[in-house]
Amino acid sequence: MLFEYVFLGFHGHATTVTELVSTREGFGNLFYYLQRGLDFYRNAVEFQGVWKQQGKKIANFLQTNATLITPEWIRFFVENDFLVGVSLDGPKEVHDQVRHYPNSKGSYDDVMRGIDLLRQARIFNGIICDISTINHLFPKEFFNFFIENNIKKLKFTRVKSIGHYNDVLSLVISPAQYADFMIVIFNLWLELDDPEVEIRDIQSVVSLILGGNRRECIYMGQCDQFVTVYSDGSIYGCDSFPKTDALYFGNVLDEQVKVKSNARLQNFRELLEKRKEHCRTCDWHFICKGGCAKDCYKQLDSVEPLSEVCENLKRYFEHISAKIRSYDLV
């Protein structure tokens, strides 16, 4: 197996999909960012058909702001088993501050309309909510907002500056602020005690503490398994490092053996191993496995994680662990 998860970022061509799938031996998890017209996805699905007939299992996931979802899109998604996640940054007054059209009109109303359409079709795959300087002090309000709107599959991410969007530096919060936010969210999740509410980061940590093995990517220690493919078929590492030369692994048109033996890919894998080794004696290594290659390190070639990130991750893990231990579950 070459890569586990493939993100078709930015302006990928449909033809790259068939090449991607052809390099895979079994299961293919393809994630798209919705930036193309419907014809692109129709072509992609048609190309996939060839490989599905040969027994390959392909799962399609799509992340969108949902503002342009129409009944026609819905029909296509339903017919082709797509699951669709939506980016929603909380209540209208907050969301519209950070997600607006060029004319400054907020997108909240259109996003919620798209969510309704997806929900009616039973293909809504939850939301991703960016946590920033604008909203990090309001975890309770945010949690209640989502629950009141019957949005129960949640993922909270810390805004980070990765260089390919507009300047977001003024929105970036510290690891401590993010940990504070997530600790309150964990408490609220526990207090509500609704098994239908899924908060992926929290449930990863809970699962791992309870002896399970379900992990978010940031706790896998396998950043080499996440790649992004661009319109020319070029394969780069995780999209947190957009088009970073040191993570250019080849092209979907290359022979598989050539990509597998790519020196940059080998270097990256060696780096990940060094990081894991460095953290081996930490009590929380069994959860974070060296952590997110982007969030936890100063530079791409750093072996030692940032102490500020570690301290706050530990504080977050310790809080959850203490609560679980209080019920004698471990």
Partner 1 sequence: MLNPVSVSKPKPNPIPKVLLQAKKEAATQTLEGRAAYEKGPWDKGHWANRK
The DSSP code for 80 is T
204: its two tokens: 């990863």
Q: Which amino acid is at 248?
A: Y
Nearer to partner 1, 25 or 104 (CB): 25
Residue 171 burial (C-beta neighbours within 10 Å; 0-12, 13-18, 19+): buried
DSSP one-letter code for 81: T
Residue (85 or 250) nearer to partner 1, CB: 85
User: Do 225 and 4 form a contact (C-beta atoms < 8 A)?
Assistant: yes
- Does 55 participate in binding partner 1 (rule CB under 8 A)? no
247 makes contact with partner 1 (CB under 8 A):
no
Mask for 115-154, x = binds partner 1 (CB under 8 A): ----------xx-x------------------------x-
Closest to partner 1 by CB, 33 vs 41, is 33
Strand partners, 8: 32, 229
- Give yes or no for residue 327 binding partner 1 (CB under 8 A): yes
| Interface segment toward partner 1; rule CB under 8 A; list 133-141, 143-151, 211-219, 309-317 | 211-219
How near is the Cβ of 253 to partner 1 at its closest, in Å? 25
Any contact of residue 2 with partner 1 (CB under 8 A)? Answer: no
Separation between Cα atoms, residue 188 and residue 243, nearest integer Å: 38
Q: Is 193 in the site for partner 1 (CB under 8 A)?
A: yes
Among 3, 33, 108, 236, binds partner 1 (CB under 8 A): 33
DSSP state of 276: H
Q: What's the closest the beta carbon of residue 14 comes to partner 1, in angstroms?
A: 20
How far apart are the two ends of the chain, measured CA to CA in Å? 34
Among 150, 166, 195, 322, binds partner 1 (CB under 8 A): 195
The span of 69-77, 143-151, 197-205, 283-291 binding partner 1 (CB under 8 A) equals 197-205
Q: Look at the chain and count its residues.
A: 330
Q: Does 214 bind partner 1 (CB under 8 A)?
A: yes
Computed from CA positions of residues 107, 110, 115, 116, in that sequence, does the dihedral angle turn out positive or negative? positive
- # residues near partner 1 by CB under 8 A: 40
**Which residue, 7 or 230, is less far from partner 1 as judged by CB?**
7
Alpha-carbon torsion, ordered 119, 122, 126, 127, to 10 deg = -40
φ/ψ of residue 51, rounded to 5: -80, -30
CB of 219 to partner 1, least distance (A): 11
| CB count in 10 Å sphere of residue 27 | 11
- CA angle, 170 as apex, 166 and 175 as ends, to 5°? 110
- Exposure of 325 in the CB half-sphere (CA atoms within 13 A): 7
Residues 6+ apart with CB under 8 A from 263: none
In terms of C-beta density within 10 A (0-12 exposed, 13-18 middle, 19 or more buried), how is residue 170 classed? exposed
Residue 261 Cβ, how far from partner 1 at the closest point, in Å? 25
Mask: binding to partner 1, 215-244, rule CB under 8 A, as x and -?
Answer: -xx---------------------x-----
* The one segment of 28-36, 44-52, 133-141, 174-182 that binds partner 1 by CB under 8 A: 28-36
Footprint of partner 1 on 282-321 (CB under 8 A): none
Which residues here bind partner 1, judged by CB under 8 A?
Answer: 5, 7, 27, 29, 31, 33, 59, 61-63, 83, 85, 125-126, 128, 153, 155, 157, 189-190, 193-195, 197-198, 200, 203, 206-207, 210-214, 216-217, 239, 324, 327, 329
